[in-house]
Amino acid sequence: MNILAIESSGRCASAAFMSDGIIKGEYTLDTGLTHSETLLPLTDRLLESAGGEAPDVIAVSAGPGSFTGLRIGAAMVKGLADGWRAGIIPVPTLEALACNFYGYEGLVCPVMDARRGQVYGGVYSFEGTKLMVRRAGGAYDMKELAAYVDAAGKRAVFLGDGADRYRELICEEVKGQFMIAPPHKRYQSAASVAQYAYEAGEAAIIAPSAFTPEYMRMSQAERERAEKHG
């Protein structure tokens, strides 16, 4: 199965191509340009470099994350899937991020800065090749997640841009063995989206029309509208 994976939930635009469980190529850009400017050209170059094969399925980071980034990614993959008559595998962003440490023997805690004093985060572990949910993905206070990891008493790795922002708090709250992921494994990756989709298999494929991103909470514009109208 050929999988095109798209990651647009954070500041990096990333695309990867996997064929029968092998990553044939991955392009990632963090240049300050918007995903609307970079994601489609980047994907075109990737597919050309990977031999021009059409994907059987498109895996996409489905959220949470940047509202704008998720919408751009969703619109793009729906258009591509319709053109190729391919299905879509929606991949939870936090679980894909945890797959950066696929097979890690300990707790994996991806945290993304959600602003307003919160992070999008969760706590996971691996049993062999199976990703296990220890604390479901959601919007949390970082101190709450750090306390959960500390109480578990297992070694842990924190990753995501939330680990950058809350590094000092993590160091204060977690007394056991832990680390902040190194830069090359700290952020969202289309290759990890592809890996998650490959493990999920054909049973996870849905029609393009059925896909909607998972925002987890209202956007700022929606909150302001709701406040205005009571």
- Model confidence over 9-46: pLDDT tens digits? 998 999 999 999 999 999 999 888 899 999 999 999 99
Residue 230 confidence class, pLDDT cut points 50, 70, 90: low
Query: How high is the pLDDT of residue 214?
Result: 94
The answer to whether residue 223 scores a pLDDT higher than 90 is no
Contact 126, 103 (CB under 8 A): yes
Say what the pTM is: 0.91
Residue 225 confidence class, pLDDT cut points 50, 70, 90: very low
CA-to-CA distance for 118 and 165, rounded, in angstroms? 11
Fold of 2-92+188-228: Nucleotidyltransferase; domain 5 (3.30.420)
Which residues on neighbouring strands pair with residue 118, listed in sequence order? 115
CA-to-CA distance for 35 and 203, rounded, in angstroms? 29
User: Could you tell me where in the chain the CATH 3.30.420.40 domains are found?
Assistant: 2-92+188-228, 94-185
Q: What is the dihedral of CA 180, 182, 188, 194, to 10 degrees?
A: -120
Between 50 and 221, the more confident residue is: 50
Q: How many distinct helices (H) and strands (E) make up the chain? A: 8, 10
Per residue in 54-90, pLDDT (tens digit) is 999 999 999 999 999 999 999 999 999 999 999 999 9
According to CATH, the superfamily of the domain at 94-185 is ATPase, nucleotide binding domain (3.30.420.40)
Collapsing DSSP to helix, strand or coil, 112 comes out as: strand
CA-to-CA distance for 222 and 226, rounded, in angstroms? 6
Query: How high is the pLDDT of residue 226?
Result: 42
Residues 6+ apart with CB under 8 A from 136: 122
